[in-house]
Chain A
Amino acid sequence: MSEPAIRVENLGKCYRIGHLRQRHNTLRDAVEERFRSLIPGLTARLRGRSGDRGNEETIWALDGVTFEIPRGQVLGIIGSNGAGKSTLLKVLSRITEPTTGRAEIRGRVGSLLEVGTGFHSELTGRENIYLNGAILGMTRAEIDSRFGAIVEFSEIERFLDTPVKRYSSGMYLRLAFAVAAHLEPEVLLVDEVLAVGDAAFQKKCLGKMNEIAGHGRTVLFVSHNMMAIEELCDRVIWIQEGRIRMSDQPRLVIAEYLKAAVSRTTDRIWDERTSAPGNDSVRLHRACVRPMNGQSTDPINVRTPFVMEFEYWKLQPGNPLGLSLDLLNERNVLLFSVGPGDTRGPEGGSCPMGLYRDSCGVPGDILNNGWYRIGLRVHEDLRPVFRYDDILTFQVWDVPKAKGAWLGEWRGVVRPAVDWRTERIG
């Protein structure tokens, strides 16, 4: 059948802020409201008394959203916080009603808007598997038949009969995800479940999500994890202020999204030592990325050698501070992580307080074109003392291409200048 699994037409959701949330919550208000709507003459007087009732603010969390998802497709939804992603999932999973439009979903719907919804801390792991399964929409027979797989996935076998309030947060998350992952609906709505847990857990979840997607089920997947989105999804929708801004292949949408979402910052200065980012050991003074022979406002292209420069106050005497830099691309891939290597401070072991500058030169012909982000980490004696992700972001431009050359994008995370020769050898 060619009917899409999900068809959304002109979906809108309007929230009345200030009105529903704060002002309508007592019976007195409701009664007053009724009266005002009954007796128009009274309205003015009452309004005069109760002040600024007139300007109720409304917000369209979703506004005219239209899309279709064919059966078996994995659709990613990205957007900044408050863009309407979660509202969309809430409407589709019927938690809240839309204000306008309609949606049609073909097949049994399972939604996973939060890991561990409905867990009761007083109940044991075993009891929670059944309770949570039932809340997610599984029948008892289904839970029975998947019980073994759930326990195995969650790795909590020994603690099955322990109340979950005694679980570590990792165990709790694993169990919660395990139950949800074994729900086997035709349409699965998932919100940001990968945002929790440690790296191993996230990897496991991602693997499971991949498996679910591979089984031809339709998945709607909201996440801030661009890697996960790109890896799992067939198509991505970017939502901004309740509207669809872009809908295309994951790679294209993610690149556009990051361009807009990550503000471009190539030079930052903090003058005030007390309020600069940092702590008792170190405070930043300046961070900038610039071409080797230029200013931070000058463009960097794939051939340009460039410098990442950091100035900081060292606030404690003693061992030198070790900085290390992470360079990530727009898909969150860590290209490299560098540090000063073996260079020590001028006094060998110890070095005094003061303002320091570290520069890290990167040769040209390494990075591919695209957006890059720099993360800074500061160590003292191998002990991390400070961390600042995305301290700088910059763009590496492509160079003008020779006539007749390949016009598409170069693939790959790096673009080294290679020594390529073609010889006639026979």
Chain B
Amino acid sequence: MIDQLSAGQRMVGQTEAGPAPEVGPPVTVIRPSRGWAPLDLGELWRFRELFYFLTWRDIKVRYKQTVLGATWAILQPVFTMVVFSLFFGKLAKIPSDGIPYPIFSYAALVPWTFFSNGLSLSANSLVGNQNLITKIYFPRLAIPAATVLGGLVDFGLAFLVMVAMMLGYGVVLTWNVMWLPALVLLALVATLGGALWLSALNVRYRDVRFAVPFLVQFWLFITPIAYPSSLLDQPWRTLYAINPMAGVVEGFRWALLGADTAPGPMIAVSTVAALGLLISGAFAFRRMERTFADVV
């Protein structure tokens, strides 16, 4: 466990009515730790600029030496949308809550792509940055977090296509759209939670590398992207939102397309689930991070 406290503060108890103790340099205490450790949000705050620079690096480097560059951020969801529309919309005639199927699925694919890419890229982020981990100290959380945050740029690009499609389909915005930032935040929380778990586990168990593609594929099917959650009756629909992405996806449709699905309860359940994932992920990460440099 590592504490940072000012020498000045430490001496307060010992000084008697003398002049106010000068604030000395920070004292770092290094000693072995066991079990669960507190999150130390203060330290994360002190390193906020590192978060910024690592995110900036991930964004800058992401599409280096690719021919299509940032176009990839759009190609992925757009092509998936086309395929889904053809097979699920046209052929299988899956209902879409009265919304044209392409925009129905694309509204879900925008946050979904952010989530799935965030998980896949961050799972390998710690292992990919082992030169940093074994040579320098900083809150290790910054690495998967920066990878996830870097995905927001892709998200923004994919969202531009969403806006274009909404114009094309003549979607009329409702006040629901005010909730969009909160829904993006929810997607971020869920992604970060998953990212912390997977990246930390991957340091020790490289099985994760193989499990992630499978996990993401599996998660795609249990999230209402190609189909509406209205296929389920209550209370199962609300319970279904234990998958945090279910709430995010239905929330996006509701906020952007004005679908009258009233996903309030779902979003509430998903928020609890996402926060649970993030908090447990953060603690698990803290617990595992102390051996990263030895194991990676």
Contacts and interface: CB of A to CB of B under 8 A. Distances in A.
Interface of A: 1, 3, 15, 20-21, 24-27, 30, 90-109, 111, 113-114, 117-118, 120, 122-123, 127, 130-131, 134-137, 139-140, 186
| Residue of A97, A106, A114, A120 contacting most chain B CB atoms (<10 Å) | A97
Given A99-B32, A130-B53, A27 B205 contact: yes
B185 to A, nearest CB: 25
B24 A1 contact: yes
B31 A26 contact: no
A99 B207 CA distance: 27
Interface in B254-296: 290-291, 293-295
B30 A91 contact: yes
Contact of A96 (B29, B206, B294): B294
Contacts of B294: 15, 20, 96
| Residue of B52, B137, B204 contacting most chain A CB atoms (<10 Å) | B137
Give the 10 A-B CB pairs with smallest separation, nearest first: A107-B25, A134-B53, A102-B31, A94-B137, A103-B30, A117-B135, A96-B293, A105-B28, A122-B64, A95-B293
B117 to A, nearest CB: 19
Contact of B31 (A90, A101, A134): A101
B207 A106 contact: no
A26 B201 CA distance: 10
A113 B135 contact: yes
Given A91-B30, A104-B29, 19 more contacts: A90-B293, A93-B137, A94-B28, A94-B30, A95-B135, A96-B293, A97-B30, A102-B29, A105-B30, A107-B26, A114-B135, A117-B136, A123-B57, A127-B60, A130-B53, A135-B50, A135-B53, A135-B138, A140-B49
Contact of A139 (B25, B33, B49): B49
Contacts of A140: 49
Contacts of B27: 104-106
A364 to B, nearest CB: 50
Contacts of B7: 1, 3, 106
A146 to B, nearest CB: 15
Contact of B61 (A15, A93, A96, A120): A120
A118 B136 contact: yes
B196 to A, nearest CB: 18
B57 A103 contact: no
Nearest to B22: A1
A186 B135 CA distance: 19
A186 B26 CA distance: 10
Contacts of A24: 204
B123 to A, nearest CB: 14
A270 B133 CA distance: 46
Contacts of A134: 49-50, 52-54
A120 B60 CA distance: 10
Interface residues of B, number: 40
Contacts of A107: 25-26
Nearest to A117: B135
B174 interface: no
Contacts of B56: 131
B138 A137 contact: yes
A104 B30 contact: yes
Interface string B30-54: 1111000000000000000110111
Interface of B: 2, 7, 24-33, 49-50, 52-54, 56-57, 60-61, 64-65, 131-138, 204-207, 290-291, 293-295
Nearest to B30: A103
A122 B30 CA distance: 36
A34 to B, nearest CB: 13
7 contacts: A30-B205, A91-B30, A102-B30, A103-B29, A117-B135, A122-B65, A135-B50
| Residue of A21, A93, A95, A98 contacting most chain B CB atoms (<10 Å) | A95
B151 to A, nearest CB: 18
A96 B290 CA distance: 6
Contacts of B26: 106-108
Contacts of A21: 295
A99 B135 CA distance: 19
A192 B276 CA distance: 44
Contacts of B50: 134-135
Contacts of B53: 130-131, 134-135
A26 B206 contact: yes
Contacts of B138: 135, 137
Nearest to B211: A27
B12 to A, nearest CB: 15
B28 A109 contact: yes
Contacts of B52: 134
Contact of A111 (B25, B65, B137, B204): B137
A25 B30 CA distance: 27
A109 B25 CA distance: 10
Given A25-B206, A120-B61, A140-B49, A97 B33 contact: yes
Nearest to A132: B53
| Residue of A24, A122, A135 contacting most chain B CB atoms (<10 Å) | A135
| Residue of B2, B33, B53 contacting most chain A CB atoms (<10 Å) | B53
B207 to A, nearest CB: 5
A21 B293 CA distance: 12
Nearest to A15: B294
A20 B207 CA distance: 16
A126 to B, nearest CB: 12
A21 B56 CA distance: 33
Contacts of A20: 291, 294-295
